Amino acid sequence: MALQENHLALSDRILMRVEKPARYLGNEVNMVKKDPSQVELRAAMCFPDVYEIGMSHLGMQILYDLFNRRPDVYCERVFSPWPDLHAILKEQQLPLFTLETQSPVRAMDFLIITIQYEMCYTNILQVLDLSQIPLHASERSGWETPIVIGGGPCTYNPEPLADFFDLFYIGEGETQYDALFDLYRDCRRNGWSRADFLRAAAKLPGLYVPALYDVTYHQDGTIQSFSPKEEGIPAKIKKELVRELDQTSYPTHPLVPFIKVTQDRVVLEIQRGCIRGCRFCQAGMIYRPTRERSVSTLKEWAREMLESSGHEEISLSSLSSSDYSGLAELVSFLLKECRGKGINISLPSLRIDAFSLDVMRKVQDVKKSSLTFAPEAGSQRLRDVINKGLTEEAILKGAADAFAGGWQKVKLYFMLGLPTETEEDRREIPRLAEKIARCYYEIPKEQRNGKCQITISTSFFVPKPFTPFQWAQMYAPGEYLARAKDVNDEVKQQLNKKSLKYNWHEADVTVLEGVFARGDRRVARALERAYEKGCIFDAWSEFFDNETWMEAFAETGVSIDFYNTRSRALDELLPWDFIDCGVTKEFLRREWEQAKAGVVTPNCRAQCSGCGARQFEGGVCVENPN
Amino acid sequence: MKIRIKFRKFGVMRFIGHLDLMRYFQKAMRRAGIDIAYSEGFSPHQIMSFASPLGVGMASDGEYLDIEVHSSQSSRQSLAALNQAMVEGIEVIEYKRLPEGAKNAMSQVAAASYTVYFKQKEQNPFSLSVLSEALQGFYQDQAEILVTKQTKKSEKLMDLKPLIYQLQVVCVNDDAQNPGFYMKLSSGSAENIKPHLVLEAFFAYLSRSDAFPKKLYVVDPMDLQIHRQEVYAQGADGEFLPLGEVGEDIL
pLDDT 10s digits, B175-192: 888 999 999 999 998 889
The answer as to whether B186 is a domain residue is yes
Kindly determine whether residue A3 and residue B56, on different chains, have CB atoms separated by under 8 Å. no
The pLDDT mean for chain B works out to 93
Q: Among A93, A98, A88, which residue's Cα sits nearest to residue A7? A: A98
Query: Which residues in chain A touch residue B83, judged by CB atoms under 8 angstroms apart?
Result: none
Kindly determine whether residue A28 and residue B88, on different chains, have CB atoms separated by under 8 Å. no
The answer as to whether A158 is a domain residue is yes
The answer as to whether A21 is a domain residue is yes
Residues A304, A212 share a domain? no
The answer as to whether A393 is a domain residue is no
pLDDT tens profile A383-405: 999 999 889 999 999 999 999 88
pLDDT tens profile A412-430: 999 999 999 999 999 999 9
Residues A109, A192 share a domain? yes
**Which CATH number does the domain housing residue B200 bear?**
3.30.70
Q: Distance of CA A117 to CAs A227, A268, B71, Å? A: 27, 22, 49
In chain B, the number of structural domains is 2
Residue A626 in this model has a pLDDT that exceeds 50: no
* pLDDT score for A609: 96
Residues B223, B117 share a domain? yes
Which of B23, B46, B88 has its CB closest to that of A27? B88
A29 reaches B (C-beta below 8 A): yes
Residues B54, B29 share a domain? yes
A406 reaches B (C-beta below 8 A): no
Last residue of a domain, one of B106, B132, B158: B106
Kindly determine whether residue A4 and residue B15, on different chains, have CB atoms separated by under 8 Å. no
Residue B21 in this model has a pLDDT that exceeds 70: yes
For chain B, the three-class secondary structure string (H helix, E strand, C coil) is CEEEEEEEECHHHHHCCHHHHHHHHHHHHHHHCCCECECCCCCCCECEEECCCCCCCCEEEEEEEEEEECCCCCHHHHHHHHHHCCCCCEEEEEEEECCCCCCCHHHHEEEEEEEEEECCHHHCCCCHHHHHHHHHHHHHCCCCCEEEEECCCCEEEEECHHHEEEEEEEEHHHCCCCEEEEEEEECCCCCCCCHHHHHHHHHHHHHHCCCCCHHHCCCCHHHEEEEEEEEEEECCCCCEEEHHHHCEECC
ipTM for this model:
0.94
Residues B178, B131 share a domain? yes
Q: A480, A417 in Cβ contact below 8 A?
A: yes
Residue B132 in this model has a pLDDT that exceeds 60: yes
For A448-511, the three-class secondary structure string (H helix, E strand, C coil) is CCCCCEEEEEEEECCCCCCCHHHHCCCCCHHHHHHHHHHHHHHHHCCCCHHHEEEEECCCHHHH
B176 reaches A (C-beta below 8 A): no
Helix (H, G, I), strand (E, B) or coil at A587: helix
Residues A169, A232 share a domain? yes
What whole-number distance in Å separates Cα of residue A417 and Cα of residue A458?
10
Confidence band for A3, pLDDT divided at 50, 70 and 90: low
- In angstroms, what separates the C-alpha of B210 from chain A's closest C-alpha? 31
pLDDT tens profile A240-280: 999 999 999 999 999 999 999 999 999 999 999 999 999 99
A259 reaches B (C-beta below 8 A): yes
The answer as to whether A106 is a domain residue is yes
* pLDDT score for B149: 78
The answer as to whether A62 is a domain residue is yes
Residue A549 in this model has a pLDDT that exceeds 60: yes
The answer as to whether A73 is a domain residue is yes
Residues B141, B95 share a domain? no
**Which CATH number does the domain housing residue B70 bear?**
3.30.70.580
Last residue of a domain, one of B106, B124, B150: B106
Query: Which residues in chain B touch residue A306, judged by CB atoms under 8 angstroms apart?
Result: 30
Q: Distance of CA A231 to CAs A208, A216, A228, A235, A239, Å? A: 15, 18, 7, 10, 21
A261 reaches B (C-beta below 8 A): no
Helix, strand, coil percentages, rounded to 5, for chain A: 40, 15, 45
Last residue of a domain, one of B106, B134, B161: B106
**β strands within A95-187, DSSP E:** 110-114, 147-151, 167-169
pLDDT tens profile A116-126: 999 999 999 99
Residues B117, B75 share a domain? no
Query: Which residues in chain B touch residue A25, judged by CB atoms under 8 angstroms apart?
Result: 12, 15-16
Burial of residue A62 (CB within 10 Å: 0-12, 13-18, 19+) is: buried
Query: Which residues in chain A touch residue B45, judged by CB atoms under 8 angstroms apart?
Result: 342
Q: Which amino acid is at A574?
A: L
The answer as to whether B45 is a domain residue is yes
The β-bridge relationship of strands A223-228 and A237-238 is unpaired
Of all residues in chain B, the one with the smallest CA distance to A14 is: B222
DSSP H stretches of helix in A93-176: 121-130
Q: For residue A433, what is the enclosing H or E element?
A: helix A423-441
* pLDDT score for A4: 67
Residues 334-373 of A with CB under 8 A from B: 341-342, 344, 365
The answer as to whether A459 is a domain residue is no
What mean pLDDT do residues A339-358 have? 84
Q: Among B134, B112, B151, B123, which residue's Cα sits nearest to residue B201? A: B134
User: Diameter of chain B by CA atoms?
Assistant: 65
Residues B118, B38 share a domain? no
What is the domain extent for residue B149?
A: 109-234
Residues B120, B98 share a domain? no
The answer as to whether B147 is a domain residue is yes
- In angstroms, what separates the C-alpha of A9 from chain B's closest C-alpha? 11
Query: Which residues in chain B touch residue A8, judged by CB atoms under 8 angstroms apart?
Result: 12
Kindly determine whether residue A342 and residue B13, on different chains, have CB atoms separated by under 8 Å. no
Helix (H, G, I), strand (E, B) or coil at A215: strand
Residues A128, A69 share a domain? yes
Residues 43-72 of A with CB under 8 A from B: none
Taken in order B158, B161, B166, B170, the sign of the CA dihedral is: positive
pLDDT tens profile A186-245: 999 999 999 999 999 999 999 999 999 999 999 999 999 999 999 999 999 999 999 999
Last residue of a domain, one of A192, A221, A238: A238
Residues A54, A191 share a domain? yes
B87 reaches A (C-beta below 8 A): yes
* pLDDT score for A2: 56
Q: At B97, give phi and psi (nearest 5°).
A: -80, 135
Residues A231, A142 share a domain? yes
Residues B226, B122 share a domain? yes
Helix (H, G, I), strand (E, B) or coil at A538: coil
A142 reaches B (C-beta below 8 A): no
Residues B133, B90 share a domain? no
Kindly determine whether residue A309 and residue B31, on different chains, have CB atoms separated by under 8 Å. yes
- In angstroms, what separates the C-alpha of B241 from chain A's closest C-alpha? 20
In chain A, the number of structural domains is 2
Residues A52, A198 share a domain? yes
What whole-number distance in Å separates Cα of residue B93 and Cα of residue B79?
7
Of all residues in chain B, the one with the smallest CA distance to A15 is: B15
**Helix count (H) and strand count (E) of chain A?**
21, 19
Last residue of a domain, one of A222, A238, A254: A238
- In angstroms, what separates the C-alpha of B233 from chain A's closest C-alpha? 22
Percent of chain A whose pLDDT exceeds 90: 89
**Which CATH number does the domain housing residue A67 bear?**
3.40.50.2300
Query: Which residues in chain A touch residue B115, judged by CB atoms under 8 angstroms apart?
Result: 1
Kindly determine whether residue A312 and residue B117, on different chains, have CB atoms separated by under 8 Å. no
Residue B49 in this model has a pLDDT that exceeds 50: yes
The answer as to whether B243 is a domain residue is no
Residues A210, A273 share a domain? no
Of all residues in chain A, the one with the smallest CA distance to B121 is: A3
Residues A271, A234 share a domain? no
Query: Which residues in chain A touch residue B11, judged by CB atoms under 8 angstroms apart?
Result: 4-5
The answer as to whether B82 is a domain residue is yes
Residue A355 in this model has a pLDDT that exceeds 90: no
What is the domain extent for residue A587?
A: 265-364+582-626
List Cβ neighbours of B174 (8 Å cut-off, separation of 6 or more). none
What is the residue-wise DSSP string for A192-214? --HHHHHHHHTTSTTEE-GGGEE
A311 reaches B (C-beta below 8 A): yes
Q: B6, B93 in Cβ contact below 8 A?
A: yes
Residues A274, A202 share a domain? no
Residues B99, B147 share a domain? no
More confident residue, A619 or A358: A619
Residues B131, B102 share a domain? no
Residue B236 in this model has a pLDDT that exceeds 90: no
Residues A168, A36 share a domain? yes
Residues A350, A232 share a domain? no
Query: Which residues in chain A touch residue B38, judged by CB atoms under 8 angstroms apart?
Result: 342
The answer as to whether B124 is a domain residue is yes
The answer as to whether B246 is a domain residue is no
Q: Which of A385-394, A539-548, B212-221 has the highest mean pLDDT?
A: A539-548
The answer as to whether B21 is a domain residue is yes
The answer as to whether A144 is a domain residue is yes
Of all residues in chain B, the one with the smallest CA distance to A17 is: B222
CB pairs under 8 A between A and B: 90
The alpha carbon of A129 is separated from its chain's Cα centroid by a whole number of angstroms, namely 24
Residues B230, B114 share a domain? yes
Query: Which residues in chain B touch residue A97, judged by CB atoms under 8 angstroms apart?
Result: none
